[in-house]
Protein backbone atom coordinates (compact mmCIF):
# COMPACT_ATOMS: atom_id res chain seq x y z
CA UNK A 1 0.00 0.00 0.00
CA UNK A 2 1.23 3.46 -0.80
CA UNK A 3 1.80 6.03 1.91
CA UNK A 4 0.22 9.17 0.57
CA UNK A 5 0.19 12.79 1.45
CA UNK A 6 -3.12 14.03 0.29
CA UNK A 7 -5.25 17.08 1.02
CA UNK A 8 -9.01 17.44 0.74
CA UNK A 9 -10.26 21.00 0.48
CA UNK A 10 -13.94 21.59 1.12
CA UNK A 11 -15.44 24.14 -1.24
CA UNK A 12 -18.94 22.87 -1.97
CA UNK A 13 -20.87 25.14 0.36
CA UNK A 14 -23.22 27.77 -0.93
CA UNK A 15 -21.59 30.76 0.73
CA UNK A 16 -25.01 32.35 1.09
CA UNK A 17 -23.80 35.09 3.42
CA UNK A 18 -21.66 36.62 0.67
CA UNK A 19 -24.85 37.53 -1.27
CA UNK A 20 -22.94 37.03 -4.49
CA UNK A 21 -23.26 35.49 -7.93
CA UNK A 22 -19.60 34.50 -7.70
CA UNK A 23 -18.84 31.32 -5.71
CA UNK A 24 -17.45 32.35 -2.33
CA UNK A 25 -14.03 30.76 -2.72
CA UNK A 26 -13.44 32.68 -5.98
CA UNK A 27 -13.68 36.07 -4.33
CA UNK A 28 -10.25 37.68 -4.36
CA UNK A 29 -7.97 38.37 -1.44
CA UNK A 30 -5.03 40.53 -2.56
CA UNK A 31 -5.99 39.86 -6.17
CA UNK A 32 -5.98 36.09 -5.90
CA UNK A 33 -9.01 33.83 -5.37
CA UNK A 34 -9.45 32.72 -1.76
CA UNK A 35 -9.18 29.07 -2.72
CA UNK A 36 -5.87 29.64 -4.52
CA UNK A 37 -4.37 30.94 -1.29
CA UNK A 38 -5.49 27.71 0.35
CA UNK A 39 -4.11 25.55 -2.47
CA UNK A 40 -0.75 27.28 -2.29
CA UNK A 41 -0.39 26.97 1.45
CA UNK A 42 -1.37 23.31 1.29
CA UNK A 43 0.97 22.68 -1.65
CA UNK A 44 4.04 23.11 0.54
CA UNK A 45 2.94 19.97 2.43
CA UNK A 46 0.82 17.95 -0.02
CA UNK A 47 1.31 17.75 -3.75
CA UNK A 48 -1.95 15.88 -4.30
CA UNK A 49 -4.86 18.18 -3.65
CA UNK A 50 -8.53 17.39 -4.13
CA UNK A 51 -11.09 20.17 -4.18
CA UNK A 52 -14.57 19.12 -3.12
CA UNK A 53 -16.95 21.16 -5.22
CA UNK A 54 -20.69 21.54 -5.53
CA UNK A 55 -22.23 25.01 -5.64
CA UNK A 56 -20.69 26.93 -8.56
CA UNK A 57 -18.53 23.97 -9.46
CA UNK A 58 -17.99 24.87 -13.14
CA UNK A 59 -16.47 28.23 -12.32
CA UNK A 60 -14.34 26.84 -9.51
CA UNK A 61 -13.05 24.01 -11.67
CA UNK A 62 -12.20 26.43 -14.44
CA UNK A 63 -10.39 28.81 -12.09
CA UNK A 64 -8.42 26.04 -10.37
CA UNK A 65 -7.76 23.94 -13.46
CA UNK A 66 -4.40 22.24 -13.17
CA UNK A 67 -3.98 23.15 -9.52
CA UNK A 68 -6.08 20.37 -8.01
CA UNK A 69 -8.20 17.33 -8.73
CA UNK A 70 -11.94 17.65 -8.24
CA UNK A 71 -14.63 15.61 -6.59
CA UNK A 72 -18.27 16.59 -6.59
CA UNK A 73 -20.36 16.55 -3.44
CA UNK A 74 -23.88 15.55 -4.38
CA UNK A 75 -26.29 16.65 -3.23
CA UNK A 76 -24.65 19.81 -1.89
CA UNK A 77 -25.32 21.29 1.50
CA UNK A 78 -25.50 18.08 3.48
CA UNK A 79 -22.61 19.19 5.65
CA UNK A 80 -18.87 18.91 5.99
CA UNK A 81 -19.02 15.23 6.93
CA UNK A 82 -20.97 14.48 3.79
CA UNK A 83 -18.46 16.51 1.78
CA UNK A 84 -15.60 14.33 2.99
CA UNK A 85 -17.63 11.18 2.46
CA UNK A 86 -18.04 12.24 -1.16
CA UNK A 87 -14.26 12.18 -1.48
CA UNK A 88 -13.74 8.92 0.43
CA UNK A 89 -13.10 7.03 -2.80
CA UNK A 90 -9.92 9.11 -3.17
CA UNK A 91 -8.70 7.60 0.11
CA UNK A 92 -9.67 3.96 -0.33
CA UNK A 93 -6.68 1.64 -0.22
CA UNK A 94 -4.35 4.36 0.97
CA UNK A 95 -2.35 4.62 4.16
CA UNK A 96 -0.88 7.66 5.81
CA UNK A 97 -2.25 11.09 6.60
CA UNK A 98 -4.82 13.28 4.91
CA UNK A 99 -5.11 17.01 5.45
CA UNK A 100 -8.61 18.40 5.49
CA UNK A 101 -9.19 22.10 5.27
CA UNK A 102 -11.85 24.57 4.25
CA UNK A 103 -11.60 26.40 0.94
CA UNK A 104 -12.66 29.63 2.64
CA UNK A 105 -9.66 29.90 4.99
CA UNK A 106 -6.89 31.68 3.09
CA UNK A 107 -4.82 32.66 6.10
CA UNK A 108 -3.78 29.25 7.42
CA UNK A 109 0.02 29.15 7.26
CA UNK A 110 1.97 26.42 5.46
CA UNK A 111 3.83 25.71 8.73
CA UNK A 112 0.50 24.97 10.38
CA UNK A 113 -0.37 22.35 7.79
CA UNK A 114 3.06 20.81 8.33
CA UNK A 115 2.60 20.73 12.12
CA UNK A 116 -0.81 19.02 11.81
CA UNK A 117 0.67 16.46 9.44
CA UNK A 118 3.59 15.67 11.72
CA UNK A 119 1.27 15.02 14.69
CA UNK A 120 -0.55 12.32 12.73
CA UNK A 121 2.75 10.90 11.56
CA UNK A 122 3.63 10.53 15.26
CA UNK A 123 0.62 8.21 15.69
CA UNK A 124 -2.38 10.37 16.58
CA UNK A 125 -5.59 9.44 14.80
CA UNK A 126 -6.34 13.10 14.27
CA UNK A 127 -4.81 16.51 14.84
CA UNK A 128 -6.93 19.62 14.72
CA UNK A 129 -6.15 23.32 14.62
CA UNK A 130 -7.70 25.20 17.53
CA UNK A 131 -7.57 28.59 19.20
CA UNK A 132 -8.74 30.06 22.49
CA UNK A 133 -10.93 33.08 21.86
CA UNK A 134 -13.00 35.36 24.11
CA UNK A 135 -16.06 35.06 21.93
CA UNK A 136 -16.29 31.72 20.09
CA UNK A 137 -19.90 32.31 18.98
CA UNK A 138 -20.65 30.44 15.77
CA UNK A 139 -17.70 28.07 16.00
CA UNK A 140 -17.61 24.44 17.05
CA UNK A 141 -16.18 24.05 20.59
CA UNK A 142 -13.52 21.58 21.63
CA UNK A 143 -14.75 19.34 24.45
CA UNK A 144 -12.13 17.63 26.63
CA UNK A 145 -12.30 14.84 29.21
CA UNK A 146 -9.41 14.82 31.68
CA UNK A 147 -7.58 17.14 29.29
CA UNK A 148 -8.02 14.81 26.31
CA UNK A 149 -10.02 15.93 23.27
CA UNK A 150 -13.20 13.85 23.11
CA UNK A 151 -15.59 15.80 20.87
CA UNK A 152 -16.40 18.93 18.94
CA UNK A 153 -19.82 20.38 19.61
CA UNK A 154 -21.36 22.80 17.13
CA UNK A 155 -22.89 26.09 18.30
CA UNK A 156 -26.46 24.88 17.70
CA UNK A 157 -25.90 21.73 19.77
CA UNK A 158 -24.17 23.18 22.83
CA UNK A 159 -25.60 22.15 26.21
CA UNK A 160 -24.98 23.39 29.77
CA UNK A 161 -21.33 24.01 30.68
CA UNK A 162 -20.29 23.60 27.05
CA UNK A 163 -21.43 27.20 26.49
CA UNK A 164 -18.41 28.36 28.52
CA UNK A 165 -15.79 26.59 26.38
CA UNK A 166 -13.42 29.10 24.80
CA UNK A 167 -11.46 26.66 22.65
CA UNK A 168 -12.78 26.73 19.07
CA UNK A 169 -12.38 24.41 16.12
CA UNK A 170 -10.83 26.09 13.08
CA UNK A 171 -12.05 23.40 10.64
CA UNK A 172 -8.49 22.48 9.66
CA UNK A 173 -7.41 18.92 10.42
CA UNK A 174 -5.13 16.07 9.64
CA UNK A 175 -6.44 12.51 9.95
CA UNK A 176 -4.93 9.08 9.77
CA UNK A 177 -6.57 7.80 6.58
CA UNK A 178 -7.57 4.41 7.96
CA UNK A 179 -9.06 5.93 11.10
CA UNK A 180 -11.04 8.45 9.06
CA UNK A 181 -12.37 5.80 6.67
CA UNK A 182 -13.45 3.75 9.67
CA UNK A 183 -15.31 6.68 11.27
CA UNK A 184 -16.97 8.32 8.24
CA UNK A 185 -19.73 5.71 7.66
CA UNK A 186 -20.79 6.12 11.28
CA UNK A 187 -21.75 9.80 10.92
CA UNK A 188 -25.38 10.66 11.54
CA UNK A 189 -27.33 13.83 10.87
CA UNK A 190 -29.40 13.86 14.08
CA UNK A 191 -28.26 17.37 15.07
CA UNK A 192 -29.44 20.98 15.10
CA UNK A 193 -28.76 21.50 11.40
CA UNK A 194 -29.71 18.02 10.12
CA UNK A 195 -26.28 17.88 8.49
CA UNK A 196 -23.51 15.31 8.52
CA UNK A 197 -20.84 17.01 10.60
CA UNK A 198 -17.22 16.18 9.95
CA UNK A 199 -16.64 17.35 13.51
CA UNK A 200 -18.51 14.27 14.82
CA UNK A 201 -15.64 12.11 13.56
CA UNK A 202 -13.66 13.30 16.58
CA UNK A 203 -16.05 11.77 19.10
CA UNK A 204 -16.35 8.57 17.06
CA UNK A 205 -12.56 8.18 17.10
CA UNK A 206 -12.41 8.96 20.82
CA UNK A 207 -15.03 6.32 21.60
CA UNK A 208 -13.08 3.91 19.44
CA UNK A 209 -10.10 4.37 21.75
CA UNK A 210 -8.05 6.55 19.40
CA UNK A 211 -6.18 9.65 20.54
CA UNK A 212 -6.75 13.11 19.11
CA UNK A 213 -4.44 16.06 19.57
CA UNK A 214 -4.74 19.77 18.97
CA UNK A 215 -2.33 22.18 17.36
CA UNK A 216 -2.59 25.83 18.44
CA UNK A 217 -2.62 28.58 15.83
CA UNK A 218 0.68 30.38 15.18
CA UNK A 219 -1.18 33.60 14.45
CA UNK A 220 -4.67 34.56 15.58
CA UNK A 221 -5.67 35.43 12.03
CA UNK A 222 -5.22 31.85 10.82
CA UNK A 223 -8.68 30.90 12.04
CA UNK A 224 -10.46 33.60 10.04
CA UNK A 225 -12.83 31.88 7.67
CA UNK A 226 -14.57 34.06 5.13
CA UNK A 227 -18.34 33.93 5.32
CA UNK A 228 -19.27 37.52 4.46
CA UNK A 229 -17.82 40.67 2.91
CA UNK A 230 -16.65 42.07 6.22
CA UNK A 231 -14.54 39.00 6.83
CA UNK A 232 -13.34 39.26 3.24
CA UNK A 233 -12.05 42.77 3.93
CA UNK A 234 -10.42 41.63 7.19
CA UNK A 235 -8.66 38.78 5.41
CA UNK A 236 -7.52 41.20 2.70
CA UNK A 237 -5.99 43.47 5.30
CA UNK A 238 -4.20 40.63 7.06
CA UNK A 239 -2.89 39.16 3.82
CA UNK A 240 -1.70 42.61 2.76
CA UNK A 241 0.10 42.99 6.08
CA UNK A 242 1.88 39.67 5.58
CA UNK A 243 2.89 40.34 1.98
CA UNK A 244 4.16 43.83 2.76
CA UNK A 245 6.03 42.64 5.84
CA UNK A 246 7.85 40.11 3.69
CA UNK A 247 8.96 42.77 1.19
CA UNK A 248 10.08 45.10 3.97
CA UNK A 249 12.09 42.31 5.56
CA UNK A 250 13.73 41.81 2.18
CA UNK A 251 14.87 45.42 1.95
CA UNK A 252 11.99 47.34 0.38
CA UNK A 253 10.90 50.65 1.94
CA UNK A 254 7.20 51.34 2.19
CA UNK A 255 6.09 54.80 3.19
CA UNK A 256 2.72 53.47 4.38
CA UNK A 257 2.38 49.67 4.20
CA UNK A 258 -1.31 49.79 5.03
CA UNK A 259 -1.96 51.79 1.88
CA UNK A 260 0.26 49.74 -0.43
CA UNK A 261 -1.41 46.93 -2.34
CA UNK A 262 0.79 44.10 -3.52
CA UNK A 263 -0.44 40.78 -4.85
CA UNK A 264 1.26 37.50 -3.90
CA UNK A 265 3.25 36.96 -7.12
CA UNK A 266 5.30 40.14 -7.12
CA UNK A 267 8.99 40.62 -6.53
CA UNK A 268 10.68 43.89 -5.61
CA UNK A 269 14.41 44.59 -5.44
CA UNK A 270 16.13 46.02 -2.40
CA UNK A 271 16.24 49.75 -1.73
CA UNK A 272 13.18 50.31 -3.84
CA UNK A 273 10.81 52.80 -2.20
CA UNK A 274 7.08 52.34 -2.63
CA UNK A 275 4.71 55.24 -1.89
CA UNK A 276 1.06 54.90 -0.85
CA UNK A 277 -1.58 54.02 -3.37
CA UNK A 278 0.66 51.80 -5.46
CA UNK A 279 -0.98 48.61 -6.70
CA UNK A 280 1.50 45.96 -7.84
CA UNK A 281 -0.30 43.09 -9.49
CA UNK A 282 0.33 39.51 -10.44
CA UNK A 283 3.52 38.75 -12.33
CA UNK A 284 5.21 42.08 -11.69
CA UNK A 285 8.97 42.27 -11.09
CA UNK A 286 10.44 45.54 -9.88
CA UNK A 287 14.22 46.01 -9.81
CA UNK A 288 16.48 47.53 -7.19
CA UNK A 289 16.60 51.13 -6.08
CA UNK A 290 13.43 52.15 -7.89
CA UNK A 291 11.15 54.92 -6.78
CA UNK A 292 7.48 54.13 -7.13
CA UNK A 293 5.81 57.44 -6.31
CA UNK A 294 2.12 57.51 -5.36
CA UNK A 295 -0.59 55.72 -7.28
CA UNK A 296 1.16 53.45 -9.71
CA UNK A 297 -0.72 50.41 -10.97
CA UNK A 298 1.68 47.91 -12.42
CA UNK A 299 0.40 44.58 -13.69
CA UNK A 300 2.45 41.69 -15.05
CA UNK A 301 5.29 44.01 -15.95
CA UNK A 302 9.05 43.98 -15.56
CA UNK A 303 10.72 47.15 -14.35
CA UNK A 304 14.53 47.39 -14.25
CA UNK A 305 16.78 49.02 -11.64
CA UNK A 306 16.83 52.73 -10.80
CA UNK A 307 13.50 53.41 -12.47
CA UNK A 308 11.24 56.21 -11.28
CA UNK A 309 7.50 55.92 -11.87
CA UNK A 310 4.80 58.30 -10.70
CA UNK A 311 1.02 58.08 -10.94
CA UNK A 312 1.09 55.79 -13.95
CA UNK A 313 -0.34 52.53 -15.25
CA UNK A 314 1.81 49.74 -16.73
CA UNK A 315 0.16 46.61 -18.10
CA UNK A 316 2.13 43.66 -19.54
CA UNK A 317 5.04 45.97 -20.25
CA UNK A 318 8.78 46.32 -19.69
CA UNK A 319 10.73 49.37 -18.65
CA UNK A 320 14.55 49.31 -18.70
CA UNK A 321 17.07 50.49 -16.12
CA UNK A 322 17.30 54.16 -15.32
CA UNK A 323 14.13 55.24 -17.12
CA UNK A 324 11.50 57.58 -15.75
CA UNK A 325 7.78 57.21 -16.30
CA UNK A 326 4.97 59.64 -15.58
CA UNK A 327 3.31 61.34 -13.93
CA UNK A 328 0.17 60.16 -15.72
CA UNK A 329 1.65 57.82 -18.29
CA UNK A 330 -0.27 54.82 -19.60
CA UNK A 331 1.92 51.99 -20.85
CA UNK A 332 -0.25 49.32 -22.41
CA UNK A 333 0.42 45.67 -23.23
CA UNK A 334 3.39 44.51 -25.28
CA UNK A 335 5.38 47.67 -24.89
CA UNK A 336 9.11 47.55 -24.23
CA UNK A 337 10.71 50.76 -23.05
CA UNK A 338 14.53 50.68 -23.12
CA UNK A 339 17.08 52.02 -20.67
CA UNK A 340 17.40 55.67 -19.64
CA UNK A 341 14.23 56.65 -21.44
CA UNK A 342 11.89 59.42 -20.46
CA UNK A 343 8.18 58.72 -20.76
CA UNK A 344 6.50 61.82 -19.44
CA UNK A 345 3.03 63.07 -18.62
CA UNK A 346 -0.02 62.04 -20.63
CA UNK A 347 1.96 59.70 -22.81
CA UNK A 348 0.28 56.51 -23.98
CA UNK A 349 2.31 53.65 -25.40
CA UNK A 350 0.86 50.46 -26.85
CA UNK A 351 2.44 47.43 -28.50
CA UNK A 352 5.58 49.40 -29.25
CA UNK A 353 9.33 49.25 -28.75
CA UNK A 354 11.11 52.33 -27.49
CA UNK A 355 14.91 52.33 -27.82
CA UNK A 356 17.40 53.32 -25.13
CA UNK A 357 17.73 56.99 -24.29
CA UNK A 358 14.58 58.04 -26.15
CA UNK A 359 12.53 60.93 -24.80
CA UNK A 360 8.77 61.10 -25.09
CA UNK A 361 8.17 63.89 -22.68
CA UNK A 362 4.53 64.87 -22.98
CA UNK A 363 1.13 64.35 -24.57
CA UNK A 364 2.08 61.67 -27.07
CA UNK A 365 0.52 58.47 -28.38
CA UNK A 366 2.72 55.71 -29.75
CA UNK A 367 0.83 52.63 -30.95
CA UNK A 368 2.07 49.58 -32.87
CA UNK A 369 5.45 51.11 -33.65
CA UNK A 370 9.20 50.77 -33.29
CA UNK A 371 11.01 53.82 -32.10
CA UNK A 372 14.83 53.70 -32.13
CA UNK A 373 17.44 54.92 -29.67
CA UNK A 374 17.96 58.54 -28.62
CA UNK A 375 14.88 59.66 -30.49
CA UNK A 376 13.04 62.78 -29.40
CA UNK A 377 9.31 62.76 -29.82
CA UNK A 378 8.01 66.27 -29.22
CA UNK A 379 4.88 67.27 -27.39
CA UNK A 380 1.70 66.08 -29.03
CA UNK A 381 3.14 63.54 -31.48
CA UNK A 382 0.55 61.00 -32.57
CA UNK A 383 1.20 57.72 -34.32
CA UNK A 384 -1.95 57.39 -36.41
CA UNK A 385 -1.97 53.62 -36.27
CA UNK A 386 -5.60 52.87 -37.07
CA UNK A 387 -7.14 53.57 -40.46
CA UNK A 388 -10.62 52.62 -39.36
CA UNK A 389 -10.14 49.01 -40.35
CA UNK A 390 -6.59 47.87 -39.71
CA UNK A 391 -3.80 48.65 -37.28
CA UNK A 392 -0.60 49.63 -39.08
CA UNK A 393 3.01 49.76 -37.84
CA UNK A 394 5.46 52.59 -38.20
CA UNK A 395 9.11 53.03 -37.34
CA UNK A 396 11.36 55.88 -36.34
CA UNK A 397 15.13 55.43 -36.70
CA UNK A 398 17.81 56.14 -34.11
CA UNK A 399 18.53 59.76 -33.33
CA UNK A 400 15.50 61.13 -35.16
CA UNK A 401 13.82 64.32 -33.98
CA UNK A 402 10.08 64.48 -34.38
CA UNK A 403 8.74 67.97 -33.71
CA UNK A 404 5.68 68.89 -31.72
CA UNK A 405 2.23 67.98 -32.94
CA UNK A 406 3.40 65.69 -35.70
CA UNK A 407 1.05 63.01 -37.01
CA UNK A 408 2.78 59.92 -38.36
CA UNK A 409 0.13 58.26 -40.50
CA UNK A 410 0.99 54.58 -40.36
CA UNK A 411 2.48 52.70 -42.02
CA UNK A 412 5.35 55.11 -42.40
CA UNK A 413 9.11 54.87 -41.76
CA UNK A 414 11.18 57.76 -40.52
CA UNK A 415 14.91 57.28 -41.11
CA UNK A 416 17.63 57.70 -38.52
CA UNK A 417 18.77 61.22 -37.67
CA UNK A 418 15.84 62.58 -39.69
CA UNK A 419 14.05 65.75 -38.59
CA UNK A 420 10.35 66.37 -38.89
CA UNK A 421 9.06 69.89 -38.60
CA UNK A 422 6.49 70.65 -35.95
CA UNK A 423 2.90 70.36 -37.05
CA UNK A 424 3.66 68.03 -39.97
CA UNK A 425 1.36 65.25 -41.04
CA UNK A 426 3.70 62.60 -42.40
CA UNK A 427 2.22 60.15 -44.88
CA UNK A 428 5.35 59.09 -46.77
CA UNK A 429 8.66 57.66 -45.63
CA UNK A 430 11.38 60.12 -44.57
CA UNK A 431 14.94 59.11 -45.58
CA UNK A 432 17.84 58.97 -43.11
CA UNK A 433 19.17 62.38 -42.22
CA UNK A 434 16.45 64.23 -44.18
CA UNK A 435 14.20 67.01 -43.00
CA UNK A 436 10.49 66.61 -43.66
CA UNK A 437 8.00 69.39 -43.48
CA UNK A 438 4.40 68.69 -44.33
CA UNK A 439 2.16 71.58 -43.51
CA UNK A 440 0.60 74.65 -45.13
CA UNK A 441 2.95 77.61 -45.51
CA UNK A 442 2.16 80.51 -43.24
CA UNK A 443 0.64 83.58 -44.90
CA UNK A 444 0.33 87.05 -43.38
CA UNK A 445 -2.45 89.52 -44.05
CA UNK A 446 -1.13 92.93 -43.01
CA UNK A 447 -3.51 95.25 -41.08
CA UNK A 448 -6.25 92.69 -41.38
CA UNK A 449 -7.76 93.60 -38.00
CA UNK A 450 -8.07 97.33 -38.53
CA UNK A 451 -9.52 96.83 -42.02
CA UNK A 452 -12.13 94.46 -40.70
CA UNK A 453 -13.03 96.93 -37.96
CA UNK A 454 -13.50 99.75 -40.48
CA UNK A 455 -15.81 97.55 -42.49
CA UNK A 456 -17.79 96.99 -39.31
CA UNK A 457 -17.15 93.24 -39.45
CA UNK A 458 -15.28 93.02 -36.15
C1 LIG B 1 -17.33 24.55 10.44
C2 LIG B 1 -17.18 23.53 11.60
C3 LIG B 1 -17.03 24.28 12.92
C4 LIG B 1 -15.87 25.23 12.84
C5 LIG B 1 -16.05 26.17 11.66
C6 LIG B 1 -14.81 27.03 11.49
C7 LIG B 1 -18.52 21.58 10.93
C8 LIG B 1 -19.77 20.84 11.15
N9 LIG B 1 -18.37 22.70 11.65
O10 LIG B 1 -18.55 25.25 10.63
O11 LIG B 1 -16.80 23.35 13.97
O12 LIG B 1 -15.77 25.97 14.06
O13 LIG B 1 -16.23 25.44 10.44
O14 LIG B 1 -15.00 27.96 10.48
O15 LIG B 1 -17.70 21.17 10.15
N16 LIG B 1 -18.79 22.67 2.89
C17 LIG B 1 -18.92 21.73 1.92
N18 LIG B 1 -20.07 20.99 1.85
C19 LIG B 1 -21.09 21.16 2.73
C20 LIG B 1 -20.95 22.14 3.72
C21 LIG B 1 -19.78 22.88 3.79
O22 LIG B 1 -18.01 21.54 1.10
O23 LIG B 1 -22.09 20.46 2.61
C24 LIG B 1 -17.56 23.48 2.93
C25 LIG B 1 -17.84 24.95 2.76
O26 LIG B 1 -17.76 25.31 1.39
C27 LIG B 1 -16.72 25.59 3.56
C28 LIG B 1 -16.41 24.56 4.64
O29 LIG B 1 -16.97 23.34 4.18
O30 LIG B 1 -15.56 25.82 2.78
C31 LIG B 1 -16.98 24.94 5.99
O32 LIG B 1 -18.38 25.01 5.88
P33 LIG B 1 -19.23 26.06 6.71
O34 LIG B 1 -20.64 25.90 6.37
O35 LIG B 1 -18.64 27.42 6.57
O36 LIG B 1 -18.98 25.49 8.19
P37 LIG B 1 -19.19 26.25 9.54
O38 LIG B 1 -20.62 26.36 9.83
O39 LIG B 1 -18.42 27.51 9.47
CA1 LIG C 1 -17.10 28.73 7.67
Among the listed residues 340, 284, 114, 94, the one whose alpha carbon sits nearest the alpha carbon of residue 215: 114
Q: Which residues surround ligand 2, an ion (CB under 5 A)?
A: 225
In contact, 43 and 85? CB cutoff 8 Å: no
Ligand nearest to the CA of 172: 1
Contact, 271 vs 288, CB < 8 A?
A: yes
For position 22, what pLDDT does the model report?
Answer: 97
Q: 3-state DSSP call for residue 290? A: coil
Pocket test for ligand 1, best of 72, 140, 171 (most atoms within 8 A of CB): 171
Q: Which pLDDT does position 4 carry in this prediction?
A: 64
User: Omega of the bond prior to 112 within 30 degrees of 0, cis?
Assistant: no
- What digits encode the pLDDT tens for the residues 53-88? 999 999 999 999 999 999 999 988 899 999 999 999
User: Please, what sign has the CA dihedral across residues 116, 122, 127, 131?
Assistant: negative
The three-state secondary structure class of 167 is: strand
Mean of all residue pLDDT scores within the chain: 97
State mean pLDDT over 26-32: 98
Q: How far is the CA of 15 from the centre of ligand 1 (A)?
A: 10
Q: Ligand 1: which of 11, 80, 108 to mutate, judged by most atoms within 8 Å of the beta carbon?
A: 80
Q: Rounded to an integer, what distance in angstroms lies between the CA atom of residue 400 and that of residue 419? A: 6
What are the φ/ψ torsions at residue 142 (nearest 5 degrees)? -90, 115
Q: Max alpha carbon distance in the chain (Å)?
A: 114
Counts of helices then strands in the chain (DSSP H, E): 8, 39
Distance 338 CA to ligand 1 centre (A): 52
Q: How confident is the model at residue 450 (pLDDT cuts 50, 70, 90)?
A: very high
- Residues 387-439 have pLDDT tens digits of 999 999 999 999 999 999 999 999 999 999 999 999 999 999 999 999 999 99
Q: Is the peptide bond before 286 cis (omega within 30 degrees of 0)?
A: no
C-beta of residue 337 within 8 angstroms of C-beta of residue 320:
yes
Active site residues: 362
Query: Could you give phi then psi for residue 63, rounded to 5 degrees?
Result: -65, -35
Ligand 2 center from residue 226 Cα (angstroms): 6
259 CA from centroid of ligand 1 (Å): 32
Report the percent of the chain where pLDDT is more than 70.
99
Ligand 1 neighbour 196 (Cβ under 6 A): no
Q: What is the pLDDT of residues 219-277, one digit of tens each?
A: 999 999 999 999 999 999 999 999 999 999 999 999 999 999 999 999 999 999 999 99
**Given the CA of residue 152, which atom of ligand 1 is nearest to it?**
11
Whole-Å CA distances, 101 to 113, 384, 433: 9, 55, 68
Average pLDDT over residues 335-342: 98
Of 138, 181, 149, give the one whose Cα is nearest residue 8: 181
* Ligand 1 atom 20 nearest Cα: 79
Q: Helix 110-121 and helix 34-43: axis angle, to 10°?
A: 50
Measured in whole angstroms, the distance separating CA 121 from the mean position of its chain's CA atoms is 34
Closest ligand 1 atom, CA of 82? 23
Tell which atom from ligand 1 comes closest to the C-alpha of 105: 30
360: alpha, beta or left? (left if phi > 0; alpha if psi -120 to 50)? beta
Residue 192's pLDDT band (cuts 50, 70, 90): confident
Q: What is the DSSP letter of 185?
A: G
The answer, yes or no, to whether any atom of ligand 1 lies below 6 A from the CB of 86, is no
Residue 293 makes CB contacts below 8 A (sequence gap 6+) with 275, 308, 309, 310, 311, 326, 327
pLDDT at 14: 87
Residue 3's pLDDT is 59
pLDDT band at 303 (very low <50, low <70, confident <90, very high): very high
Cα dihedral: 53, 54, 57, 61 (round 10):
10
Task: Region of 317 please: left (phi>0), alpha (psi -120 to 50) or beta.
Answer: beta
Q: What is the CA radius of gyration of the chain?
A: 31
In whole angstroms, how far apart are CA 458 and each of 105, 445, 448? 76, 15, 10
Per-residue pLDDT, 320: 99
Q: Does residue 140's CB lie within 6 angstroms of at least one atom of ligand 1? A: yes
Q: Which atom of ligand 1 is nearest to the CA of 168?
A: 12
Q: Are 439 and 414 in contact (CB under 8 A)?
A: no
For residue 350, give the nearest of 394, 320, 406, 290 by alpha carbon: 394
**Residue 104 Cβ contacting ligand 1 at under 6 Å:** yes
How remote is the CA of residue 10 from the centroid of ligand 1, in Å? 8
Rounded-to-integer distance, Cα 365 and Cα 134, Å: 59
Res. 1: pLDDT tops 80: no
Q: What is the Cα–Cα distance from 458 to 453, expressed in whole angstroms? A: 5
Asked if residues 232 and 37 have their Cβ atoms less than 8 Å apart, the reply is: no
Residue 305 phi/psi, 5-degree rounding, is -85, 155
Residues pairing with 148 in the sheet: 145
Amino acid sequence: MSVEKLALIMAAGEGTRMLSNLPKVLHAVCGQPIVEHVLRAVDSVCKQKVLIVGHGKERIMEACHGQADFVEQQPGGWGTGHAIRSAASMLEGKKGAVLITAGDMPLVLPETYARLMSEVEKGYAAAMLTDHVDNPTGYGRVVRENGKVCAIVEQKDLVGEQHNIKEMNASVYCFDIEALLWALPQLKNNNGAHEYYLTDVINILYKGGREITTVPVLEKSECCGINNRLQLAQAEREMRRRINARHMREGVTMIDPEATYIEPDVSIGRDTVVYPGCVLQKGTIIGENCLLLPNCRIMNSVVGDNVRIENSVLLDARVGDGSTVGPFAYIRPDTVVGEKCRVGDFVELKNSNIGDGTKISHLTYVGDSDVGEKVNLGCGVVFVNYDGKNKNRSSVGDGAFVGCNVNLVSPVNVGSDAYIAAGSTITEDVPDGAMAIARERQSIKEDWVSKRKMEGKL
